[in-house]
Amino acid sequence: MPASTIEDSALPRLLVSVRDPAEAEAARLAGADLIDAKDPGRGALGALDPVVVREILVRVAGAAQTSAVADPVATGVAAMAATGVDWVKTGLDADGRRTIAARAELAAAAPGRLIAVLFAEDGPAAALVPELARAGFAGAMIDTAGKGGARLPDLAGPEDLAAFTAACRRHGLMSGLAGSLRVIDIPNLLGHGSDYLGFRGGLCRDFDRRNGIDPLRIAEALRVLRPSRRDAA
């Protein structure tokens, strides 16, 4: 389906990952739908100190949904949930995916608010969605573990991504797609039906996730994500 014919209600929203309160405020002012707190210096899913996350929430001031990465242990998830973020994200590697009790323990640490992050490098994820729903997760995202150049579309085919988001819809889970995405990837991902598309490096200066967020790139991503609003302006 051409992007220009998709209704706003069917479009994914923009998740922007930030590392500090200043970036959070820049993302809020630029119009990000969900502001996600994480430490890009600690890999794909580095958790910030909960104190920093609380400062980020003050800057967001309720103007956007919020999430924060937590270490994949129940104590880490609970500590991040206690900051007051709307959603807590934690990674599940290939071993963690197979441990039913471990998944349920993580979900119980942030009831109704935990998002599982699955890595594209581990293969198709659609079959895992029913188990995540049974464990009590609120949603699931696919991301890339490596940040060395390969983007999500390089590692996961469109059929696998569409199957993942469809499984999330069937089981009542929020869904997201991320992984070194750039604005040029948005048109090819619009039709998969995800709730969010997640960005960090693709919205930073020089496309380097260690650099600061560029508000102009956030605005560009929103123009592509919301074509009907742009055309009506």
Residue pLDDT, tens place only, 7-22:
344 689 999 999 999 9
Looking at the 3D structure of the chain, how many domains does it have? Answer: 1
Residue pLDDT, tens place only, 154-182:
999 999 999 999 999 999 999 999 999 99
What pLDDT band is residue 44 in, cutting at 50, 70 and 90? confident
CATH number for the domain that contains residue 14: 3.20.20.380
> What's at 153, amino acid-wise?
P
Q: Does any domain span residue 1?
A: no
| Domain residue limits at 127 | 10-227
Residues labelled as active-site residues = 38, 89
Return d(Cα 121, Cα 216) in angstroms, integer.
31
89, 141, 144 from 101: Cα distances, Å: 18, 20, 25
Q: Does any domain span residue 2?
A: no
What is the pTM for the complete model shown?
0.91
Q: What is the pLDDT of residue 148?
A: 72
Residue pLDDT, tens place only, 80-113:
999 999 999 999 876 655 678 889 999 999 999 9
Q: Who contacts 135 (Cβ-Cβ below 8 Å, separation ≥6)?
A: 100, 103, 104, 106, 107
